[in-house]
Amino acid sequence: MHSQTRSVSTFLTGVLAWVAIAGAAHAQTSLPHAEPASATRHAGAVEAGRAMLQALVEQSGVPGLSVAVAVDGRVVWAEGFGYADVENRVPVTPLTRFRIGSVSKPLTSMAIGLLYEQGRLDLDAPIQRYVPYFPEKRWPITVRQLAGHLAGIRTYDYTDYDPATNEFVSSTRYDTVRSALGMFVDDPLEHEPNSAYLYSSYGWNLISAAIEGASGQDYLSYMREHVLRPLGLRHTVPDHAEVIVPYRTRFYARDHDGHLRNGRHADLSNKWAGGGWLSTPTDLVRWGSALFESQAVLQPETVKLLWTPQRTAGGTETGYGLGWRNARDWDERRTVSHGGGSVGGTTYFLLYPNERVAIAMTANISVSPMGEPTARTIAEGFLPEADARPPTAALDLSGSYRYTVTGNEGTSMAGTLQLNRDHGRYGGRVIPDEAPAARRRAQDGSYAPTLPAEIPIAWVTSTSRGAHVVGADANGFVHLWLTVEGESFSGRWFGRGVSGTVSGGRPGS
């Protein structure tokens, strides 16, 4: 896929394209960098999304971030923020390739679907039918169980964060899928298959071996010829550490003091199928949009199979199909999605099948605010419901308010909401009374940035009766959906680890 015999003309074409992009971006060396956007009905959603992501990047300290949105099969927005290479001030553009981590799993599920349709892969056959060199365990395991994280295969060992033993940051080069299975091939199963859900990227290593056995091709060749090429995913490639990959971002992390540093060296040949690919948000949303089209890539029945959540033997729904998560958003719309975390990379990929909207977001840091709520926030303005909302007279919400949040888990919190309006745009702060929660630590041993005490307002949408207030900080977005009655309000709160109801008003109201 990355032949050293690439023609000189192809190389020069790539160089000239980069020079054009870099030249256009030179005058604004930080934020943002975008493909030219046509004037469409989504202009308002793009404006809101840009403002919110600008605020998110600034508050979280993410080096670089990229986003793309497709509606009805058409990419309506693709934009880069920040730097692909901080040291050399190389901006992120829509061409920048990021590590997509576990979004590699739904990508690999396309191969499962194709081989299943052709009758070459029985999802319920013992894995040894396709991988005869994999030793039998206490219980038989199948591709269906592996793809749904129900097989009992263990996950990475990274408990001590020591680079010498941390499997998540393995620097060992594996020449074949079979050799990479050696990391866990002799380990017992963690539990009886179907008895419990245990997320395992190693299970997807075994799936890639089954793809090889069923197809007669090595995994990377099969993906290139039967998945990437037919889908037109020209910017999606395996992350070969030793190969020069055009537009590949640098990878970053934070140390325990919060300082940005280069991420640890990692060779992803130990987990191609479960976390080893590079891509762009534009490629991801084009792929996602293809799944909305009847028989464009897979039969509709096959797509439904991949997306349908599995159940344990006890009947508990896992929320996970064959490489895809299945859920509902805060307005009960169906979503299918997957997140990805790598050394120096975070991704979220979200589809609204009924609304035919796809969004993908990538960042070049190990721990970032990227997650499903982040993607939902940006996607909100592109959904058909947003177009159908009639314009109404907006409230003037300027002022200071006290609020109280009652979480669904019995938690509670309080604070002050300050809003100001300048030239039709809102700013302000959410100021919790208590200090934010402790920072998270990633699988590679890096840290999340320290949460600020105050949450800057990134966007406010107001009507004659209420408002949607969005704050942005290092943990992602904070949402307040408010219904206003005189000097008081009530509604919903989501963010800072709390989901529940919120109420409040101006002091003394």
Over residues 310-319, the pLDDT tens digits come to: 999 999 999 9
pLDDT in tens, 280-310: 999 999 999 999 987 778 999 999 999 999 9
> Residue 2 above 90 pLDDT?
no
Domain coordinates of the chain in residue numbers? 101-385, 390-505
pLDDT in tens, 177-214: 999 999 999 999 999 999 999 999 999 999 999 999 99
Give bridge partners of residue 262 from the DSSP assignment.
252
pLDDT of residue 10: 36
Which CB contacts under 8 angstroms, 24+ apart, belong to 380-386? 380/45, 381/42, 381/44, 381/45, 381/48, 381/49, 382/42, 382/45, 382/69, 382/71, 382/76, 382/77, 382/357, 383/333, 383/352, 383/355, 383/357, 384/355, 385/331, 385/355, 386/45
Task: Pick the closest to residue 247 from 23, 14, 5 (CA basis).
Answer: 14
Q: Which of 22-26, 53-57, 151-155 is least confident?
A: 22-26
pLDDT of residue 330: 86
- Mean of the pLDDT values across residues 472-478? 94
pLDDT of residue 466: 86
pLDDT of residue 445: 92
Chain centroid to Cα 491, Å, comes to 28
Question: In the structure, what pLDDT confidence band is assigned to residue 509 with cuts at 50, 70 and 90?
Answer: low
- Alpha helices per DSSP H over 153-312: 177-180, 201-215, 219-223, 229-231, 272-275, 281-290, 300-307
Share of the chain above pLDDT 70, in %: 90
Using CA of residue 470, residue 255, residue 446, residue 84, what is the dihedral sign? positive
pLDDT of residue 393: 56
Chain centroid to Cα 350, Å, comes to 7
pTM of the model: 0.90
Mean pLDDT, the chain, integer: 90
pLDDT of residue 23: 35
Tokens 């948000």, residue?
281
Kindly give, in sequence order, each residue whose CB lies less than 8 Å from that of residue 3, ignoring residues fewer than 6 positions away: none
> Residue 19 above 70 pLDDT?
no
Kindly give, in sequence order, each residue whose CB lies less than 8 Å from that of residue 152, ignoring residues fewer than 6 positions away: 137, 139, 141, 189, 190, 191, 192, 193, 195, 196, 198
pLDDT in tens, 382-397: 999 766 555 555 678 8
Backbone angles phi, psi at 165, to 5 degrees: -125, -10
Find the radius of gyration of the CA atoms of the chain.
23
> Residue 28 above 70 pLDDT?
no
Task: Pick the closest to residue 444 from 342, 363, 368, 346 (CA basis).
Answer: 342
Quickly count: other Cβ atoms within 10 Å of residue 388's Cβ.
7
Which CATH number among 3.40.50.300, 3.40.710.10, 3.40.50.880, 3.30.70.360 corresponds to the domain 101-385? 3.40.710.10
The CATH topology of domain 390-505 is: Lipocalin (2.40.128)
pLDDT in tens, 235-271: 999 999 999 999 999 999 999 998 999 999 999 999 9
